[in-house]
Amino acid sequence: MRLAFYAPLKPPDHPVPSGDRRVAQQILAALADSGHDVEIAARLRSFDSSGDLARQTKLAGIAARLAGRYVHRIYGRPYARRPEAWVTYHLYYKAPDWIGPRVAATLDIPYVVIEASVAGKRAGGPWSLGHQATIAALARAAAVVSLNPADESGIAPHVRAPTRLHRLKPFLDSRPYAAAAHERASHRVRVARRYGLDPDRPWLLAVAMMRPGDKLESYKVLGESLALLTAHPWSLLVVGDGPARDQVRAALAPVGERVAFAGPLDDAELGPAYAAADLYVWPAVNEAFGMAILEAQAAGLPVVAGDSGGVGEIVAHGRTGALVRPRDAAALAAAIEPLLADPARRSRWSQNALAKVAVEHDRAVAARVLGHVLSQLPQSMVRA
């Protein structure tokens, strides 16, 4: 099937890395793996962080013009090269899709949403325009694929029929991470040398963008938590960068020389960093599900994380990691502390994490699920 793809929050080829971009890239790859021909149909970022009605109105107007131009281009193609369905990834009130529903209606093709959330409290607030657009898009969708079970109660009332709502667990290509896990010893030597870490101490790892909002709040909780554990030997490696880097460093200052900052790492460097560490730690304040948490487990790294959003869909509490209240620094410390001195339990959780990702979260599994969903689409949304 020929598919038009759009990610209104951030296109998959955007130059700034983020978990959302990584998920979009994985979805494109999974769609291709399931035998579909996918093109990026639009790159407009409809994201409005401040609730600016004028900005939202302007973005909606730009989107309408882009939709018209896209349809014009498509009408210039032979039928054999026209899209047969439109797929939008990550739909919510701050980043609505004003392009896809319009194009799908004009071309008379199914409209599909992968990951969406609905916040009822936004119905009459500063993001009401984006909220209304999200509700309208969900109502039009021939299929809505949910990556986060926590979102489904908000989505379901706006989907035309229960049979159009599907579940897909967060996923990635686990192969490079599993390969890194098998080379843990050599990666640990190289990472220790590069960042000046003591290989005889347990290494904690955190991977996240450094930006204001929930990410910074998570870093603050992490700093408070680790300050309670200074009586124990450990080191922390932090991977990431962004506009809040100074605030992040300040948040982690209480643990002083124990922290090494790696900056941003590319895919080739990130897998070995996960594999070399002993424990992934992240408070996950308002986290949707945490792509880095999934990557960590794919590399055999056990996790201690905040139990927010869909994190519990990834981390099996007591089997691949431990879940605590997201903003509770003391609870996070209490979960980390016994693991610092228990390499046997970390090893068991590591093996469990590798197995869980391979069976439940590998991209091959997602390709089969998405392939099935798309095979059930109606030929025409007008007739559906």
111-158 tens-digit pLDDT: 999 999 998 888 888 999 999 999 999 999 999 999 988 899 999 999
> Pick from 169, 199, 114, 166: which is nearest to 298 by CA?
169
> What is the mean pLDDT of the segment spanning 230-249?
96
Run of H or E residues at 87: strand 85-91
Give the H/E segment covering residue 39. strand 37-40
Q: Is the dihedral of CA 10, 13, 15, 21 positive or negative?
A: positive
- Predicted confidence at residue 122, as pLDDT, reads 81
Give the DSSP H or E segment for 263: strand 259-263
Secondary structure class of 212 (helix, strand, coil): coil
Q: Yes or no: say if 238 and 255 are a contact pair by the CB < 8 Å rule.
A: no
User: What is the predicted pLDDT for the residue at 18?
Assistant: 84
Query: Which residues make Cβ contacts (< 8 Å) with residue 300, sequence separation at least 6?
Result: 177, 178, 181, 184, 274, 275, 350, 351, 353, 354
> What's residue 333's pLDDT?
98
Token output for 95: 């980043």
Residue 6 φ then ψ, to 5°: -150, 135
Q: How confident is the model at residue 383 (pLDDT cuts 50, 70, 90)?
A: very low
Nearest-angstrom CA–CA distance, 59 and 277: 43
Q: What is the mean pLDDT of residues 68-82?
A: 96
**Arithmetic mean of pLDDT over the chain:** 95
Q: Is the CB of residue 140 less than 8 Å from the CB of residue 132?
A: no
> By the 8 A CB rule, do 326 and 282 touch?
no
Contacts of 217 (CB under 8 A, 6+ apart): 283, 285, 286, 327
Buried b (16+ CB within 10 A) or exposed e, 146-166: bbbebbbeebeebbeeeebbb
pLDDT(380) > 90: no
Interval 281-295: pLDDT, tens = 999 999 888 899 999
Query: Average pLDDT of 41-70?
Result: 96
| pLDDT at res. 338 | 96
Largest CA distance in the chain: 69
The model carries a pTM of 0.90
Whether the Cβ atoms of residue 77 and residue 54 lie closer than 8 Å to each other: no
Whether residue 370 is predicted with pLDDT greater than 90 in this model: the reply is yes
Q: How far apart are CA 167 and CA 373, in angstroms?
A: 10
Q: How confident is the model at residue 223, as a pLDDT?
A: 98
Domains of the chain: 2-171+363-375 (3.40.50.2000), 175-361 (3.40.50.2000)
Q: What is the pLDDT confidence band of residue 381, given thresholds at 50, 70 and 90?
A: very low
Residue 364 carries which side chain, given as an amino acid letter? Answer: A
Q: Count CB-CB contacts under 10 A for residue 379.
A: 13
What is the rounded CA–CA span in Å between residue 311 and residue 242? Answer: 23
Q: What is the mean pLDDT of residues 97-105?
A: 97
pLDDT at 348 over 50: yes
pLDDT exceeds cutoff 70 at 384: no
Task: Give pLDDT tens digits for 167-192.
Answer: 999 999 999 999 999 999 999 999 99
pLDDT of residue 150: 87
Residue closest to 234 by CA, chosen among 245, 244, 243, 222: 222
